[in-house]
Amino acid sequence: MAHINGYVVAAGDKKKASQPSWNWVLINGTGETKALDVDKYAVMHRVQIHARDLRIIDPNLSYPSTILGRERAIVLNLEHTKAIITSDEVLLRDPSHENVIPIVKELERRLPVGNQAHHGQGDGKESSAAHNDADAGEEDESPFEFRALEVFLEAICSFLAARTTELETTAYPALDELTSKISSGNLDRVRKLKSATTRLTARVQKVRDELVHLLDDDDDMADLYLSRKLSCPCSMASSPNCYLTSPTIGSKISRASVATVREDENDVEQLEMLLEAYFMQIDSTLNKLTTLREYVQDTDDYISIQMDNRRNELIQLEVVLGSGTVCSAFYSLVAGIFGMNIPYTWNDNHGYMFKWVCIVTGAICVFSLVFIMSYARFKGLMGS
């Protein structure tokens, strides 16, 4: 036997005790918060989930956004939020994270219902604010797990919407500046913004896909009704691990109870309305990112057109220089002919020949230049 962290651990359990502990914060139905530093085996035993479900919220592993319903808990992995929701408490990973701290405060404020919301509060303004929260809580008759799930969905949707707004505020002026002035600095800035847009779009798309997956499957939504499962006769059995036993336990349940439970399980309208509200919000965020990506693509196309225009201007200059070289070559030919030391009869007393050769050569040069320029314009190399 050995004592580890105040627990008595048997020799066969030393391997489990050697597992690294995780930082958790526990929030119950009264809004009370308690810090926990336990390993994964303690968490598995507390919420009765498997190790494969706990891996979903492991920060060292890369898992997509997931909302997973189990018999006694909801495993939630959305962005930086990694939590386990039961019918009466919430376990939240990394409570000291800067993006998780506001979620903890919001859970403390919204999870209590009725008199629990203002229990232990002082008089004056604090009591009045607590009473308002209590009134709001009394109006919300949703189960505990839905109130917690709503807080997480609201936090994630607001977080992604805020990141999208920040990106839009930075991206649109940068793109407009690039269209007015093409420079290496502006191009590098837009490249980074384009990469950020692609990454953020992928993150928003994962959350949206998970919500779509839940909305399209009534059975998955029914698995998130933890409070309803507690009213199931199986959950009221003497064994706490009733849900892990063989299906023979079903033979002990009356047919009338099973029919009632099945009728209740088919009613997922409350959760469907909750998920649909945040689906519309995350879909709106995705539409904004899609519009931003299209604007980036349009800017890219505009820059490509401008670069093609500059390239055509360089080709035009090359054609002009080439035409001038051809014209100079004709005059070099005349100079070469009359400069040779070869005796020929028409060179004596025929000075007018030089003038006629120069005139004809100049005419040929002008004609060649006009022909080349016209041909270049016909091919569209000179632009409009």
Which residues make Cβ contacts (< 8 Å) with residue 202, sequence separation at least 6?
A: none
Contact 149, 85 (CB under 8 A): yes
- pLDDT 10s digits, 169-206: 999 999 999 888 888 898 899 999 999 999 999 999 99
* C-alpha distance from residue 332 to each of 146, 337, 338, 358, 369 (Å): 92, 9, 10, 11, 16
**What is the per-residue DSSP string for 90-139?**
EEEE-TTSTTTHHHHHHHHHHS--GGGGGTT--STHHHHHHHHHHHHHHH
Is pLDDT of 370 > 60?
A: yes
- Looking up tokens 């992604």 gives 160
Mean pLDDT of 120-138: 45
Of the residues 70, 85, 110, the one at which a domain ends: 110
Of the residues 88, 110, 132, the one at which a domain ends: 110
Report which of residues 361 and 16 the model is more confident about: 361
- pLDDT 10s digits, 322-342: 777 777 776 677 677 666 666
Element containing residue 346 per DSSP (H, E): none
Residue 104: per-residue pLDDT = 92
Residue 16: per-residue pLDDT = 47
- Assign residue 33 the CATH number of its domain: 2.40.128.330
Element containing residue 13 per DSSP (H, E): none
Please check whether residue 66 lies inside any domain of the structure.
Answer: yes
Please check whether residue 69 lies inside any domain of the structure.
Answer: yes
The DSSP output letter for 21 is P
Tokens of 136: 């709001």
Residue 353: per-residue pLDDT = 65
Can you tell me whether residue 143 is helix, strand or coil? coil
Please check whether residue 316 lies inside any domain of the structure.
Answer: yes
Structural domain span for residue 67: 20-110
Of the residues 55, 83, 110, the one at which a domain ends: 110
Please check whether residue 124 lies inside any domain of the structure.
Answer: no
Please check whether residue 230 lies inside any domain of the structure.
Answer: no
Residue 168: per-residue pLDDT = 94
Contact 69, 80 (CB under 8 A): no
- Looking up tokens 């100049």 gives 362
* C-alpha distance from residue 215 to each of 85, 125, 148, 224 (Å): 19, 42, 18, 12
Residue 289: per-residue pLDDT = 95
Is pLDDT of 157 > 90?
A: yes
Mean pLDDT of 56-82: 88
Identify the band that residue 284 occupies on the pLDDT scale cut at 50, 70 and 90. very high
Is pLDDT of 112 > 80?
A: yes
Q: What is the mean pLDDT of the chain?
A: 77
Distance in angstroms (rounded) separating the CA atoms of residues 238 and 257: 17
Report which of residues 133 and 114 the model is more confident about: 114
Please check whether residue 255 lies inside any domain of the structure.
Answer: no
How many independent structural domains does the chain possess? 2
Mean pLDDT of 102-130: 64
Highest mean pLDDT among 44-53, 228-237, 318-327: 44-53
Mean pLDDT of 214-227: 90
Is pLDDT of 156 > 90?
A: yes
